[in-house]
Structure 1
Amino acid sequence: MSETLYARVQAATEGTSYRLRRTGRGFDMTVNVPQVGRHTTQVHTYRVELQPREKTFTMTDIVRTRGESGGRTVERGRARYRTWSRSLDGSERTSFSSADGHRLIRAAAQELGWQELRPPTAKVALVFGAIGGLLALGMLIALAVVFWP
């Protein structure tokens, strides 16, 4: 089953700048983000981990950036962003949207009946967001009780 999904994504990426690489639990789809900055390079990896028995998968974005002074950053989780650039003379324009890679993988998986699960990082963020919201609500109620005329 997972071989079929890999083959479907591979066929969808033919002729594009996306590169596929098998991993122990699924595959990585990698692309160089065009023209992030003059001396900055960025590589976006869509890490897809497959659970073939359940026909489910998780997708995690890994964005590696190398800065002008040699500094490096790595961001993991769910990344949604767009970049645009053009050459100095205006003749060449490039753009990149991280959502394009998400759509490509999801479309191939959906055609084969696979379902996407949230990655663990998204679940943790959701829990912390809920806790923060409840704390803020509790604080507002406490302030209303204390300062109500």
Structure 2
Amino acid sequence: MNEPSGAHAADELRARVAAATAGTPYRYRWTERGFDLVVDVPLPGGRRVHTYRVVLHPAERTCTLTDVVHTHERGPFGTTRKTVETGRARYRTWSRSLDGSERHSFSAADGHRLIRGVTEELGWREQKPAAQKAALVAGAVGGLVALGTLIALAVVLWP
């Protein structure tokens, strides 16, 4: 089998993703460590920019996928609220113009599927980002502490 390796494999993956996003709302942006897919998400009373940040590890043929979501919302009296969320975003939005002529929908899962489809087709594997791994460990430890506390209470309070 004649598979591309190293930098050539990363270039092929980048080219495939760029081709897959042509003619879509996703904007492909090359980065030093991988690529970003950026899409504007319509929101009533504001705007959201969703970035799928992909970091490639060509030697292992693995990648990490992190969502970065910038939200700008207009509030009462001309106030604005800006937030940035980083991690794994799972959400869907629907909106419609006041006269009903325009409809917009967005699902964060669509971008994930697009990226995973190309990476899997080329034999790449996705790794969880370090922050997501840490959150899983913290959740497991918290669950064990809660279980231990419940067992200790049951032992102490058992008649």
How high is the TM-score relative to the length of structure 1? 0.95
> Which whole-Å CA distance do the structure 2 matches of 1:137 and 1:90 have between them?
52
Residue 92 of structure 1 deviates from its aligned partner by 1.8
| Shift of residue 146, structure 1, vs aligned partner | 1.4
Q: Structure 1 residue 17 and structure 2 residue 25: aligned? A: yes
Q: TM-score, normalised by structure 2?
A: 0.89
Give the AA of the match of 2:14: Y
Which residue, 38, 50, 56 being the options, matches 1:30?
38
Deviation (angstroms), 1:17:
0.7
* Distance in 2, Cα, partners of 1:94 & 1:25: 32
Are 2:59 and 1:49 aligned?
Answer: no
Which has the larger displacement, 139-148 or 51-60? 139-148
Partner of 1:58: 64
- Aligned residue-pair number: 147
How much does 1:89 deviate? 2.0
Unaligned stretches of 5+ in structure 2?
Answer: 1-8
Question: Runs ≥4 in structure 1, deviation > 3 angstroms?
Answer: none
Unaligned runs of 5+ in 1: none
Q: Distance in 1 between matches of 2:31 and 2:99?
A: 42
Per the TM alignment, residue 91 of structure 1 is displaced from its structure 2 partner at its CA by: 2.5
- Measured after TM superposition, the shift of residue 24 of structure 1 is 1.3
Rounded to whole Å, the distance in 2 between the matches of 1:120 and 1:138 is 27
Match of 2:4 in 1: none
Residue 71 of structure 1: SS of its match in structure 2?
Answer: strand
Give % identity. Answer: 63
| Residues in 2 aligned to 1:91 and 1:28: alpha-carbon distance in whole angstroms | 31
- What is the aligned partner in structure 2 of residue 90 from structure 1? 100
- CA RMSD across the alignment: 0.9
Question: Residue in 2 aligned with 1:142?
Answer: 152
